[in-house]
Amino acid sequence: MENIIQLDSYPVQATLRILLQDKTTKKNIIWATDSYASFGEAYTDKSQITEDQLKKMNYGMIQPRISKDLEQQTQRTRKSAEVFTPAWLCNKMNNFCDEEWFGYKDVFNRQAEHEWIPIEDNIRFPAGKEWKEYIDSKRLEITCGEAPYLVSRYDVSTGEMIDIPKRIGLLDRKIRVVNENTTDEFEWMKWVVRAFQSVYGYEYQGDNLLIARINLLMTFVDYMNYKWHRQPEKAELRKIANIISWNIWQMDGLKGTVPMGILKEEYHQMSLFESFQEVEEQDDVPEVRCRIYDWRADSSILYETLEINGRY
């Protein structure tokens, strides 16, 4: 199977440093899985994922679940409850979400069993609602894995690539609406940025999180090519990547914290007057509550405040 995720491609290489960021810890995301521990200590669950590590292990090793061998898939299902969510099921659930928002059925497509037929006409908005409200309406995919509900570059259950007119992700739908309602690149870019700012997702395992982030980035690349027949410039890619690294974040969903607590220093140099006990006490640090970004308020907030206030 051809590599679906290409870490050595231009869009990813131009943004990899950003895509590896953990905005809460101000360090990098961690592996949070021992799937790659055979590569050495730097690849164990509590270690940060770095550009150098990815290069040394062969970029092609970071691939969607469908590309892993059956033994790896089984192990990750047992340890982390990883499951396949086929595109037809993602579509069905996303259709329910849009039916609630629009007030009528079959907004973007008509589903028949495990297939769907896209609506060819421009999306119709109900009285009292306009397309810009839909773009700004927030969506969250919990324990997102490779983010199949947000973007649908490929069917995660088969690895089959999906053509843009048939894509069914929540972000795909928003960008379709932007395509239908904007006439120049400046306005298109403005509302595509707002579309990215409106979708969120969290994931525990670092490799899945990186894949999800790349899937969102490559979705931007795909639609830029589709609409304007060009590759995004580095500045455009980095702007989108920064939004992605805030909105698709690493979290233990049961605790609302960074997986395995705060990252420790890779090496601690003791001072002349410091005891071993003091070093151990410094290592015993509390868990870190995850932060996300409220783009309309232009400030970061604790994720748990959204749960408390019932805002998501």
In a domain, 278, yes or no: no
Q: Which residues pair with 252 in a beta bridge?
A: 257
Indicate whether 305 belongs to any domain.
no
In tens, the pLDDT along 47-92 reads: 999 999 999 998 888 999 887 654 454 555 545 555 679 999 999 9
Is 1 inside any structural domain? no
Q: Is 5 within the bounds of a domain?
A: no
Specify the residue for token string 């629009």: 102
Residue 2 banded pLDDT, cuts 50, 70, 90: low
Are the C-beta atoms of residues 58 and 36 closer than 8 Å to each other? no
pLDDT tens profile 122-166: 999 999 999 999 999 999 999 999 999 999 999 999 999 999 999
Tell me which amino acid residue 255 is: K
218 is written with which tokens? Answer: 């490559």
Answer whether residue 281 is part of any domain: no
Q: Give the long-range contacts of residues 173-176, CB within 8 A, separation 24 or more.
A: 173/94, 173/98, 173/108, 174/134, 174/135, 174/198, 174/199, 175/219, 175/223, 176/108, 176/123
pLDDT at 67: 75
Domain of residue 72: give its range.
Answer: 10-251
Q: How confident is the model at residue 3, as a pLDDT? A: 83
Residue 152 lies in a domain: yes
Please tell me whether the overall predicted TM-score, pTM, comes out greater than 0.85 for this model.
yes
**What is the pLDDT at residue 53?**
95
Amino acid 74: pLDDT: 53
Q: What is the dihedral of CA 191, 312, 133, 201, to 10 degrees?
A: 30
CA 4-89-113 angle, 5° bins: 115
d(CA 12, CA 246): 17
Write out the two tokens for 72. Answer: 């790896």
Count how many domains the chain has.
1
Q: Which residue has the tokens 């409106």?
A: 198
- Phi-psi region for residue 212, left (φ > 0), alpha (ψ -120 to 50) or beta? alpha
Half-sphere exposure of 278 (CA within 13 A, CB side): 8
Residue 223 covered by a domain: yes
> Looking at 176-180, 257-261, 271-275, 294-298, which range is the least confident one?
271-275
Q: What is the CA radius of gyration of the chain?
A: 20
In DSSP terms, which residues pair with 234 in a beta bridge?
none
Q: Which structure tokens are listed for 302?
A: 């604790």
Q: Are 51 and 17 in contact (CB under 8 A)?
A: yes
Q: Specify if 256 maps to a domain.
A: no
